[in-house]
Chains A and B, each alone.
Chain A
Amino acid sequence: MIRILFFARVREEVGQARLEMPLPAGITTLGTLRDHLAAQGEGWSYLSRCPNLRTALNQELAPPETPLREGDEVAFFPPVTGG
């Protein structure tokens, strides 16, 4: 299983804050997981439309080519705006 978290506008667009699922067959990186989810229709397409979408793996920023493993925590979110 992998855990997937969504934050801020990404969370609102996809309609959920978290998701646990088996690592889908053929999905090996953060980028391919994003594409897989973005193809689920409705709000999910925001994952491909969000400008400068950020991805994190196990709570650290990580680029789309980062490999995924069983048990990972993945997060998708917009550029941050704290401070």
Chain B
Amino acid sequence: MSISVQEADFDTGAEIDTLGAGGAIGAVVSFVGLMRDMRGDTAIRAMTLEHYPGMTEKALASIERQARSRWDVQRVRIIHRIGRLMPEDRIVLVAVASKHRGEAFAACQFIMDYLKTDAPFWKKEETAEGGHWVEARSSDDDARRRWNDEAKPNG
């Protein structure tokens, strides 16, 4: 289990290499979330990510446990940045290593979908008109719910 909540940037390539090391791993699937410079027609200058220290780490560990209970995955790496970020900055990394690709693809998407609705992070964007909190999207709830409607894949 390897979960980090940090202000610092991360090295995507190095993280993926670490996850794949050792010979038993056949697949590493990774997702990197980046900061966009627009929301609709509004230019975003910067963003601040707030979180709930303590609960954040517990929520991410719980999501990882749920993923491991559904799929046979060897390693999971979750990094989520906090603090002030600029457009193009990396926000989040989820990487999953497994023997075969099916498990890693599914577990990676599952972890991201659950992180979006269950991990206590909040984004505040800075625009020319001032700062505003990003609203939660119902499509994120739908993406999470989908996993409860689906039978466990065979991998």
- Interface residues in chain A, defined as those with a beta carbon under 8 Å from any beta carbon in chain B: 5, 7-9, 52, 56, 59-61, 75, 77-83
Please report the number of residue pairs spanning A and B whose Cβ atoms sit closer than 8 angstroms: 71
Known contacts A8-B122, A52-B136, A80 near B54 by CB under 8 Å: no
- Whether the Cβ atoms of A75 and B136 lie closer than 8 Å is no
Q: Which residues of B contact A9 (CB under 8 A)?
A: 122, 133
Interface centre among A7, A8, A56, A83 (most CB of B within 10 A): A83
Residues of B at the A interface (CB closer than 8 Å) are: 33, 49-52, 54-55, 58, 80, 91-92, 112, 115-124, 133-136
| A83 and chain B: residue at smallest CB distance | B116
Cross-chain contact B55 with A82 (CB below 8 angstroms): no
Among A8, A9, A80, chain B packs the most CB atoms within 10 A around the CB of A80
Determine whether the beta carbon of B58 is less than 8 Å from that of A80.
Answer: no
* Chain B residues, CB < 8 A from A60: 55, 58
